[in-house]
Amino acid sequence: MLLKIKEKTDPAQIARLRNTLELNHLGHCVSKTKTQTVIGLEKALPQEVMQELESLGCIEECLTITTPFKMASRSFKPDRTKIRIQDTVIGGDQIVLMAGPCAIESEEQLRSIAHELKKANVSVLRGSAFKPRTSPYSFQGMGVEGLKLHRKMQKEHGLLIETEVMDVRDVPIVAEHMDIVRVGARNMQNFNLLKEVGMCGKPVILKRSMSATVEEWLMSAEYIMAHGNHEVILCERGIRTFENSTRSTLDLSSVAVARQLTHLPIIVDPSHAAGRKDIIPALSKAAVALGADGLLIEVHNRPDLAKCDGKQALLPNELEQLSKELAQIAQAVGRWI
């Protein structure tokens, strides 16, 4: 159940309302965005509690939503969410291309890649400064220095920038430097991190964990929304299956299913799903044909020297070619790149 609170309600009234919920042992969370306040409830309110709350005079609407994810559901918001960041709209008619290196490695690397990517209609430059690596001996990322480099180079190239945040303690600095904050697959159910990015004030890319169901994925989006951030971009990046010809198995049906269940934009990362570059064009085209709102693709100027994920990185000119081919598919489904 969701309670939409009337605009300009006195915070003392909301405190009273919460107090009533607490006295009745009703789990809830207050989601306050710039434009609205919504209270999410774990379960439906008993009649007598509902009457007590209504007598406070601050409830605009009470919505009964049967799915466990509420604010993320289409029952809460039938229209698709469009996330505007400067001139880029994610979730609109444009297929938004996000591309760049797996990891930020140096100023020269970022400069060279960003320069090339502008020719490929890329809107967002990806690049991780904090790397979740299976081995503690592998390159762990440049850390805060990498964030600063990402930001510094933005003045030159003008693209939007995004990066992964792995640790609750890094959320403020990541949000300060980035246009979009990314929660990686391995942290999809790091609930403290989800709460923190829910309060960070920047759009969040939420990757699907390799072992999460679509419902669990949407529940993680709900965490972020319940803490006040409704700008969540879902990202399908492949799941673990028995198949070993690819790194993960790109679950395109999750995109079709999630589109029915949620109003949030959905993008696809074919790079981490495939783990190899040869099938990235095919997966990307399928994702656009299916209704994905964007793609997150790894690109490197020197994949042979990449500190991370070189095998799955396209060259900038390969992305440029792919972008042209994707434009035709986008047009066929009434969209553009």
**DSSP secondary structure of 117-162:** HGGGTEEEE--BSS---SSTTS----THHHHHHHHHHHHHH--EEE
Number of residue whose CB is nearest Mn ion: 102
Q: Rounded to the nearest 10 degrees, how much is the dihedral formed by the CA atoms of 170, 275, 265, 286?
A: 170
Q: Residue 291 has what DSSP assignment?
A: T
For ligand PEP, the closer of residues 231 and 298 by Cβ is 298
Minimum CB distance to ligand PEP, residue 94 (Å): 21
Considering CB distances under 5 to 8 angstroms, the limit depending on partner class, which of ligand PEP, Mn ion, none binds residue 185?
Answer: ligand PEP
Minimum CB distance to Mn ion, residue 121 (Å): 21
Instruction: For residue 180, give both structure tokens.
Output: 């979009």
Q: How far apart are the first and last CA of the chain?
A: 38
Q: Single out the residue of 170, 231, 309, 320 in contact with Mn ion (rule: CB under 5 A).
A: 309
Minimum CB distance to ligand PEP, residue 236 (Å): 9
Q: What is the contact surface with ligand PEP in residues (CB under 6 A)?
A: 102, 128, 132, 164, 184-186, 207, 237, 269, 272
Residue 134: count other Cβ atoms within 10 Å of its Cβ: 7
For ligand PEP, the closer of residues 20 and 139 by Cβ is 139
The residues facing 186 across adjacent strands are none
Minimum CB distance to Mn ion, residue 128 (Å): 7
Residue 72's identity, in one-letter code, is A
Residue 102 contacts Mn ion per CB under 5 A: yes
Spatial distance between the Cα atoms of 274 and 294, rounded to a whole number of angstroms: 17
For ligand PEP, the closer of residues 38 and 188 by Cβ is 188
Q: Give the residue among 93, 91, 75 at the shortest CA–CA distance from 83.
A: 91
Minimum CB distance to ligand PEP, residue 12 (Å): 42
The footprint of Mn ion on residues 35-94 (CB under 5 A) is none
For Mn ion, the closer of residues 72 and 283 by Cβ is 283
Task: By CB under 5 A, name the binding residues for Mn ion.
Answer: 102, 309
